[in-house]
Amino acid sequence: MFENGGFEMSSMVSIEIPREVIHTTRMTPQELKRELSVYLFQQDKLSFGKSREMAGMKVWAFQQLLGSRGIPIHYDVEDYEEDLATLGELGRL
């Protein structure tokens, strides 16, 4: 987006999903968002913390979801640092 000749940064991006997809899959937009977060985690495109955040799930619930699908949790230093930063932002450190 442009505002006053510069870029406006937003923390959210919207995508359009045809109603037919929602109807055909019989999934809610939140369920589709969760599926996308799981896929991106599985493909090593998102860290565990960011995927869990995108899915809107607590740590334990997201771990259980991944486990139920046989998706191994790959938690590395980058994930740890992201989680520390998130905890700091939430005032939990």
Whether residue 24 lies inside any domain: the answer is yes
Whether residue 49 lies inside any domain: the answer is yes
The band of 1, judged by pLDDT with boundaries at 50, 70 and 90, is very low
The band of 2, judged by pLDDT with boundaries at 50, 70 and 90, is very low
Which has the minimum average pLDDT: 20-24, 48-52, 71-75? 71-75
CA–CA gap between residue 53 and residue 74 (Å, rounded): 16
Whether residue 4 lies inside any domain: the answer is no
Whether residue 5 lies inside any domain: the answer is no
Characterize 61-80 residue by residue with b for buried, 16 or more Cβ atoms within 10 angstroms of its Cβ, and e for exposed: ebbebbeeeeeeeeeeeebe
Whether residue 30 lies inside any domain: the answer is yes
Q: Is 47 exposed, middle or buried (0-12, 13-18, 19+ CB in 10 A)?
A: buried
Whether residue 6 lies inside any domain: the answer is no
The domain of 18 spans 13-89
The model's pTM: 0.67
Q: What is the CA radius of gyration of the chain?
A: 16
For the chain, the domain total comes to: 1
What is the structure's pLDDT at 77? 80
What proportion of the chain, given as a percentage, has pLDDT over 90? 51
